[in-house]
Amino acid sequence: MRTMIQSIIVVLVASVSCMISCKSVPGYEAPVEPVIAPAQVNINFRFIAYDIGIANPDDDKRCYYKIFIDKIDAGRTTIGLESQKKYFEAKLSPNTHLIVIEKWVLDEREGEYKKLNNILQPKPNFYYFETKANAVTEVIMVNDKKANIAQYSINIQ
């Protein structure tokens, strides 16, 4: 009886030490995009663009805007459907600047983005704005896809 109890204790001690030494698989955590305040990334300019007047979901293409600031290629916006907001952020010197945009749309047959024909580009495709060192200047472009007329607004935060 005593050896049986000793055997059970040995088995229990061995199983507990095995469980302690084993590593468990970490639980799945969905990736979270960090929320960055403008002061943290030190920006003073944000461009937001989207289209209105899209009646059919088949006409709502994936696109982005190529951004030129003061006639220099500054990058591009995020990618999204034409009806969704697309964003571009930068740190610019306090001054008056010129933004020129080019709309690029996904060609689904070829699987690549292509610049829209100049006739189909939003009109006007440029805007003058002023930036300050201690404020974020938001330029919002709303393009009416049917009329092909872009309207710009400024929001200073």
The whole-number pLDDT of residue 4 equals 63
Query: What residues does 72 pair with on adjacent strands?
Result: 69
Interatomic CA distance for residues 129 and 136, integer angstroms = 12
In a domain, 28, yes or no: no
* Helices and strands in the chain, H and E counts: 2, 10
Total of domains in the chain: 1
**Structural domain includes residue 91:** yes
Q: Is residue 33's pLDDT more than 60? A: no
Cα–Cα nearest to 152, from 136, 137, 135:
137
Q: What is the mean pLDDT of residues 88-93?
A: 94
Q: What is the pTM of this model?
A: 0.71
Residue 1 resides in a domain = no
pLDDT band at 157 (very low <50, low <70, confident <90, very high): confident
In a domain, 24, yes or no: no
CATH number, position 135: 2.60.40
Residue 16 lies in a domain: no
DSSP 8-class letter at 70: T
| 100 assigned to some structural domain | yes
* Phi, psi at 115, each rounded to 5°: -65, 135
CA distances from 27 to 24, 30, 138 (A): 9, 10, 40
For residue 77, is it within any domain? yes
Across residues 131-140, what is the average pLDDT? 92
In degrees rounded to 5, what are phi and psi of residue 4? -70, -40
Mean pLDDT score, 25-47: 62
**Which domain range does residue 127 map to?**
38-156
Rg of the chain over Cα atoms, rounded to whole angstroms, equals 28
pLDDT range class, residue 37, cuts 50, 70, 90:
low
Q: How far apart are the first and last CA of the chain?
A: 81
Give the pLDDT of residue 18: 55
| Residue 148, domain member (yes or no) | yes
Q: Is 4 helix (H, G, I), strand (E, B) or coil?
A: helix
Q: Which residue has the higher pLDDT, 126 or 1?
A: 126
